[in-house]
């Protein structure tokens, strides 16, 4: 068993930071929170209703960035984002989102030619160009340089300021303002 007796609530305007050593079950917890995996015991509730009953409605609100980007290597940046938008509710234009993450000029580049850090920024662009209230981010800062981490954090703060929720794991010390951050520490 990875963890038990976990009981917490996250409200709009908050960032939940899940911490713990390698193998303590951070990713498993996140996958449970996305509904991809069901917990052995217990229940996940979104806005007062169990997620197992909501399913489709829940996914209107949830965006997940896992270890894998979920993008097609052979499609261009723009084609990938268009596909992501077709399956969700689009907010920002693609060009605008790319501008925000500093990937302007890469619209037609197949993803296979992007560096690991650029792919991460593209994942952020995906978050920005679709309307989702809850962001679930698994190690979002991996392979990002310092400036990009700061940029990512700024967008997290902005998302939370608009009433959004962010649940994330990170090994890096985050520069997020302490008053919006809640922490859960998993023991190994």
Partner 1 sequence: MSADSLSNAFLSVVRRDLLLAYRHRAELINPLAFFVMVVTMFPLAVGADVELLRRIAPGVIWVAALLASLLSMDAIFRSDFEDGSLELMVMTPHPLSVLVLAKVTAHWLLSGVPLLLVSPLLAVMFDIESDVISVLLITLLLGTPVLSLIGAIAVALTVGLRKGGVLLAILVLPLYVPVLIFASGAVDAAASGLPVSGQLYMMSAMLFLAITLTPWPTAAALKMSLS
- Judged by the rule CB under 8 A, the positions of this chain that interact with partner 1 are 31, 34-38, 56-57, 59-60, 62-64, 66-75, 79, 82-84, 86-88
SS (H, E, C) 119-166: HHHHHHHHHHHECCCEEEEECCCCCCCHHHHHHHHHHHHHHHHCCCEE
Q: Cα(162)–Cα(156) distance, rounded to whole angstroms?
A: 10
For partner 1, the closer of residues 58 and 176 by Cβ is 58
18/127 with CB nearer partner 1: 127
**Minimum CB separation from partner 1 for residue 23, in Å?**
19
Instruction: Please report how close the Cβ of residue 9 comes to partner 1 at its closest, in angstroms.
Output: 21
Minimum gap (Å) between residue 155 Cβ and partner 1:
19
Please name which of 110, 97, 39, 105 lies closest in space to residue 63, comparing C-alpha atoms.
Answer: 97
CA proximity to 15, closest of 140, 122, 168: 168
Nearer CB in complex with partner 1: 115/187: 115
Measured CA to CA, the distance from residue 16 to residue 6 in angstroms comes to 14
- Cβ-based nearer residue to partner 1, 69 or 99: 69
Question: How far apart are CB 37 and partner 1 at their closest, in Å?
Answer: 4
Distance CA 126, CA 63 (A): 9
Q: Determine the Cα–Cα distance for residues 4 and 19; give it in Å rounded to an integer.
A: 15
Task: Between 71 and 176, name the residue whose CB sits nearer to partner 1.
Answer: 71
Q: How far is the CB of 149 from partner 1 (least distance, A)?
A: 21
């Amino acid at each position: 068993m990875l963890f038990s007796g976990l009981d917490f609530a996250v409200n709009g305007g908050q960032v939940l930071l899940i911490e713990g050593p390698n193998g303590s079950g951070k990713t498993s917890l996140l996958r449970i929170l996305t509904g991809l995996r069901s917990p052995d015991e217990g229940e996940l509730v979104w806005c007062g209703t169990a997620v197992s009953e909501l399913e489709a409605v829940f996914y209107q609100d949830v965006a997940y960035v896992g270890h894998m980007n979920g993008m097609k290597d052979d499609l261009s940046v723009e084609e990938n984002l268009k596909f992501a938008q077709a399956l969700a509710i689009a907010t920002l234009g693609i060009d605008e989102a790319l501008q925000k993450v500093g990937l302007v000029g890469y619209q037609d580049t197949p993803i296979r030619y992007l560096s690991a850090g650029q792919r991460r920024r593209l994942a952020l662009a995906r978050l920005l160009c679709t309307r989702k209230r809850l962001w679930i981010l698994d190690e979002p800062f991996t392979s990002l340089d310092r400036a990009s981490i700061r940029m990512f954090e700024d967008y997290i703060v902005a998302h939370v300021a608009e009433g959004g929720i962010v649940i994330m794991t990170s090994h890096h010390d985050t520069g997020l303002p302490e008053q919006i951050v809640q922490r859960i520490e998993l023991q190994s």
